[in-house]
Chains A and B, each alone.
Chain A
């Protein structure tokens, strides 16, 4: 009996490992789909919707190269025009505030703060590296999506205790992410919609982050996107951050 139990346990461990590896490979593929374009240049609108349905609109221009270099510049409203944000590898971030005439280095303590009044935190806005930062577990396989549970790796500090992520089976595009707070309560829900084929890539032209605690949401709509323009690293520099286009 003891031998049978041990054998069953061994099989279970192998099976769990197999599931875990499978889940990790799914999230790795998902990351690679999201980060597939070599570089991106896009114009988008961020629509902030409060609990009464009142809307605020922010227009921005964003450059991204790989999964670790990003430059965002606000085009409107008037009191935010010209504000720029530069994110570089190793959590190096800069903020340019035209009214103060200087670029300010910002430390990673802001990572969990809301970015420019939106429901996305600085961390949400930075690179998508779920496989690198989270351990994945396959919860369910539905007809068209994998449902995975992601928990932060032991050495990674996150504001979320876990993520439940739905990844499309056909193209590994993540379409929904439930973010749970450290108390295990559902906090934010990210949905990606209008997923379109652009050249060799899949791009979500609209996404919405809902903060259930604040009863507030932010819709990000991509109005124009250019891919693989061969952006130079110089685009992601302090020199370029303070330039007005």
Chain B
């Protein structure tokens, strides 16, 4: 054994002892869950998802003054990625077992920091703003995590500094995020849900499409984001006003380069993409009227104007052929209105009207959606049934028959005992015209999930 390896072992051993002592002193708790998630397409029996996940949460509150938390996921993706014998021989086994680790959150809370009424949170954190369910136009700080398109509303952690100041019924919040993090997009062929149809010029055949994303420069003025919120309670309603200054976390194409490859009209296409700067002024409320829960949330998006430049490559270089507007600087409003109610027979209903889905932007590109969910628990909460759950979109109210989309997700959850969930369900899409759900209507699937918490 050489000196270097001995030195490494000493360091690891020392770190283990130190961290073990720290954990013992800090009253660390470790919780989490193990989950398996399998999805199979109706039409061809193909597996679209096969994930096994170990989710670990580390948490401690050694005193009333501070608290720490971290969440890490170890994920096995199920589908082997083996193309040669040598890949079967790797000691890491990473072609046989494709896997990934996700560092979701790791932060420190300092309570009554400096003043009794100030709490701060430093580190990687998921910040959720807004009173609506899952679709929150005012929620723009932590990037969206759309890897699983059916779990919209999921977010990634952002390295951030957050401070809350409490003054009677008023809470002032300030957030600073030094480095921009983009959203993740749907895995596999679900990505086409977010890509509208586009017309290829007559006579042209596209051979390859490539894209290049340009992230903001890593300097303060380009990559940092900040946000403020003031929240209070008036007339038994919870109200807040917010402001965000940063970037849209979905990429926007601002450049297309057409590269002819023959004289018959065949071409390769290169797309350049950026993350436009935006400001968002938002407001939300929640309360109740006659025992019915009501909430609403709206956000005015003020985007920087982004042009789309189209070039054709010739022997002389790039020739500009078109300049159009990719994103107008005209403000646009996204909003959500919702209610929930529990009937006397314990059926629960939750419904929302949504103007502008997560990925939609620009005044003329916002569609209307109605999300509804009925659920009821049976047998002392051992069984939960969601017979109706899903989203309907109407693209053209004047011609609904040819311009609609539906995504349904009936689901049954069985809780045989504490900490165990068995979930069976399906995703069923249909529609006419060009919309998010009609684009993936041939991808219906059912799923089975099992989860044990510890």
Question: Are A108 and B418 neighbours in the complex by a CB distance under 8 Å?
Answer: no
Partner of B293, one of A81, A105, A117, A239: A105
B249 within 8 A of A: no
What are the residues of chain B within 8 A of A109 when measuring CB–CB?
288, 291-293, 340-342
What are the residues of chain A within 8 A of B32 when measuring CB–CB?
78
Question: Are A77 and B418 neighbours in the complex by a CB distance under 8 Å?
Answer: yes
Within the complex, the shortest CB–CB distance from B155 to chain A, in Å, comes to 8
Question: Are A101 and B128 neighbours in the complex by a CB distance under 8 Å?
Answer: yes
Nearest B-chain residue to A237, judged by Cβ? B166
Q: Considering the complex, which residues of chain A in the window 73-124 have a beta carbon less than 8 Å from any beta carbon of chain B?
A: 77-79, 81, 90-92, 100-102, 104-114, 117
Please judge, given known A-B contacts A239-B171, A243-B67, A244-B59, whether A107 and B288 are in contact too, CB under 8 Å: yes
Question: Are B419 and A79 neighbours in the complex by a CB distance under 8 Å?
Answer: yes
Please judge, given known A-B contacts A239-B164, A243-B67, A245-B61, whether A117 and B380 are in contact too, CB under 8 Å: yes
Question: Are A105 and B287 neighbours in the complex by a CB distance under 8 Å?
Answer: yes
CA A90 – CA B127 in complex, angstroms? 29
- Secondary structure class of chain A's binding surface, majority of residues: mixed
Question: Are A214 and B166 neighbours in the complex by a CB distance under 8 Å?
Answer: no
Question: Are B453 and A107 neighbours in the complex by a CB distance under 8 Å?
Answer: no
Partner of A78, one of B69, B126, B295, B453: B453
A194 within 8 A of B: no
B444 within 8 A of A: no
A153 within 8 A of B: no
Within the complex, the shortest CB–CB distance from B168 to chain A, in Å, comes to 10
Within the complex, the shortest CB–CB distance from A111 to chain B, in Å, comes to 8
- Secondary structure class of chain B's binding surface, majority of residues: strand
Question: Are B287 and A81 neighbours in the complex by a CB distance under 8 Å?
Answer: no
What are the residues of chain B within 8 A of A104 when measuring CB–CB?
286
Question: Are A77 and B291 neighbours in the complex by a CB distance under 8 Å?
Answer: no
What are the residues of chain B within 8 A of A111 when measuring CB–CB?
291
Binary A-proximity of B142-164 (CB < 8 A = 1, otherwise 0): 00000000000001000000001
Partner of A108, one of B111, B288, B381: B288
A198 within 8 A of B: no
Question: Are B381 and A114 neighbours in the complex by a CB distance under 8 Å?
Answer: yes
Partner of B291, one of A101, A107, A243: A107
CA A101 – CA B105 in complex, angstroms? 11
Binary B-proximity of A208-241 (CB < 8 A = 1, otherwise 0): 0000001010000000000000000010011100
Question: Are A113 and B342 neighbours in the complex by a CB distance under 8 Å?
Answer: yes
B51 within 8 A of A: no
Question: Are B293 and A107 neighbours in the complex by a CB distance under 8 Å?
Answer: yes
B205 within 8 A of A: no
Nearest B-chain residue to A211, judged by Cβ? B380
A38 within 8 A of B: no
Partner of B31, one of A50, A81, A112, A214: A81
What are the residues of chain A within 8 A of B286 when measuring CB–CB?
104-105
Within the complex, the shortest CB–CB distance from B108 to chain A, in Å, comes to 13
CA A81 – CA B119 in complex, angstroms? 22
Question: Are A105 and B417 neighbours in the complex by a CB distance under 8 Å?
Answer: no
Question: Are A79 and B418 neighbours in the complex by a CB distance under 8 Å?
Answer: yes
CA A204 – CA B61 in complex, angstroms? 31
CA A234 – CA B112 in complex, angstroms? 12
Partner of B111, one of A100, A101, A238, A243: A243
CA A102 – CA B153 in complex, angstroms? 12
Question: Are A117 and B381 neighbours in the complex by a CB distance under 8 Å?
Answer: yes
Within the complex, the shortest CB–CB distance from B91 to chain A, in Å, comes to 35
B346 within 8 A of A: yes
Binary A-proximity of B91-126 (CB < 8 A = 1, otherwise 0): 000000000000000000101000000010000001
CA A238 – CA B131 in complex, angstroms? 14
Question: Are B128 and A239 neighbours in the complex by a CB distance under 8 Å?
Answer: no
B13 within 8 A of A: no
Within the complex, the shortest CB–CB distance from B375 to chain A, in Å, comes to 12
What are the residues of chain B within 8 A of A107 when measuring CB–CB?
287-288, 291-294, 340-341
What are the residues of chain B within 8 A of A237 when measuring CB–CB?
166
Partner of B119, one of A105, A239, A245: A239
CA A238 – CA B32 in complex, angstroms? 25
B447 within 8 A of A: no
B344 within 8 A of A: yes
What are the residues of chain A within 8 A of B128 when measuring CB–CB?
100-102
A48 within 8 A of B: yes
Question: Are B344 and A112 neighbours in the complex by a CB distance under 8 Å?
Answer: yes
What are the residues of chain A within 8 A of B69 when measuring CB–CB?
244
Question: Are A77 and B419 neighbours in the complex by a CB distance under 8 Å?
Answer: yes
CA A107 – CA B32 in complex, angstroms? 30
Interchain residue pairs with CB less than 8 A apart (6): A50-B380, A78-B33, A92-B236, A100-B128, A105-B238, A111-B291
